[in-house]
Homo-oligomer: A and B are copies of this chain.
Amino acid sequence: MSATPSSEQTNTRATLKQVAQLADVSIATASKALNDRVHVRASTRQRVLDAAAQLRFSPNEQARSLSMGQTGTVGLITGDLEGRFSLPILMGAEDAFGTGRMSVFLCDARGDSIREQYHLDALLRRNVDGIIVVGALTNARKPIGRDLPVPVVYAYAPSEDPNDVSVVPNDVAAGADAVRYLLDQGRTRIAHISGVSNYTAAIERSQGVTAALQERGLTLLDDMTHFGSWSEQWGRSATERLIERHPDLDGIVCGNDQISRGALDALQRAGWNVPSRVALLGFDNWEVLTTGSRPQLSSVDLNFELVGREAASLLFGMMSGTVEPGIRRIDSRIVTRESA
């Protein structure tokens, strides 16, 4: 227990100059010794290392990056308030760079483009080495700026400009995979309840769903995707209508896990067993939703961590060379639980 109040900050960090003095060498030699540069005698290097250890020296990144021209920082601008997408992407980025080697400024623009510009300016003033822009939805978005002095990668929401570099989930393939998974279980009377109809994610998954059914000569119940909202309430009401009209219904692809929960609720109230009578497969694999229900919900995981890791790798590549522009699509995986 220290005697001084913790809010008093007296002690300061050791500087290279102090290390040099203690080791009785010049600043230049100390720097070279610590950075494994050539032309330093082994004994001298050891003296410097000892001195640095004794003073617990670690270099001031400010000064270092000022002369090196690289800061070792990246900015992550997100519009995703909940962090559903941006946090896995942050983790993926940290993994790709290596813990502690690269620090990440997280900026929450809250869907406000003025705030976004503010954050962009701040990041550029701070000389970040690169920027990752994370969208709240997968709809394509306007580029964050033109002719920026640093590389930019768009994650989750791709840039409208095909010359930019973007990484997104492969929604078409995810939709197709979901249907094939149900088909392989022998389900043939399949409905698709999705979210808001102008979401690219909803549209593309629907395309995948339709295409995969067509491959086997089948079609969706009602010959269409039922668009609505991303809520449990919509999942319930849409399912109630399906129950009325389609007694042979045996599988539902749900646009996300919320819809899936709603559908489960409606089916159970109607006395339709899940999964024996109807199989249920959602999207997002949001654990708090999927593992809480009884039966637990199977779900398509869109692999946000992989999106993040790929975005970070691409950014890395752009920092030290050229990267082919365009949109990368990351494959999903199905997490099997009890509902399908």
Interface residues of A (CB under 8 A from B): 1-2, 5-9, 11-13, 58-63, 65-66, 71, 73, 76, 81-83, 87, 90-91, 94, 99-101, 103-108, 110, 115, 118-119, 121-127, 146-152, 161-165, 231-233, 236, 258, 261-262, 265, 286, 288-289, 291-294, 317-318, 321-325
Identify A106's interface contact among B104, B147, B293, CB under 8 A: B104
Q: Which residues of B contact A122 (CB under 8 A)?
A: 100-101, 103
Excluding A2-B147, A6-B152, 11 further A-B contacts by CB distance (< 8 Å) are A5-B324, A7-B321, A9-B149, A61-B125, A62-B71, A73-B126, A81-B87, A83-B87, A103-B105, A103-B123, A232-B292
CB closest residue in chain B, given A315? B7
Q: Which residues of B contact A91 (CB under 8 A)?
A: 81, 108, 110
| Complex Cα–Cα for A7 and B7 (A) | 45
A297 to chain B, nearest CB (A): 12
Q: Is the CB of B100 within 8 A of A161?
A: no
26 pairs, A vs B, C-beta closer than 8 Å: A1-B163, A5-B324, A7-B165, A7-B317, A7-B318, A7-B324, A11-B147, A12-B149, A58-B121, A59-B125, A66-B66, A82-B83, A87-B87, A90-B106, A90-B108, A94-B108, A99-B119, A100-B118, A103-B123, A104-B107, A106-B106, A232-B292, A233-B292, A265-B294, A288-B289, A289-B289
A270 to chain B, nearest CB (A): 14
Q: Is the CB of A104 within 8 A of B103?
A: no
CB closest residue in chain B, given A87? B83
Q: Which residues of B contact A2 (CB under 8 A)?
A: 146-147, 163
Q: Which residues of B contact A124 (CB under 8 A)?
A: 13, 58
Q: Which residues of B contact A73 (CB under 8 A)?
A: 105, 126
A92 to chain B, nearest CB (A): 11
Q: Is the CB of A7 within 8 A of B323?
A: yes
| Complex Cα–Cα for A59 and B61 (A) | 18
| Complex Cα–Cα for A151 and B106 (A) | 20
Given A104-B105, A163-B6, A292:B147 Cβ within 8 A: no
Identify A99's interface contact among B6, B115, B146, CB under 8 A: B115
CB closest residue in chain B, given A261? B292
Identify A107's interface contact among B61, B103, B236, B262, CB under 8 A: B103
A133 to chain B, nearest CB (A): 13
Identify A9's interface contact among B90, B126, B151, B293, CB under 8 A: B151
A-B interface, 10 closest residue pairs, ranked by CB to CB distance from nearest: A232-B292, A83-B83, A106-B106, A100-B118, A100-B122, A6-B163, A83-B87, A7-B318, A7-B323, A61-B125
| Complex Cα–Cα for A292 and B282 (A) | 15
CB closest residue in chain B, given A4? B163
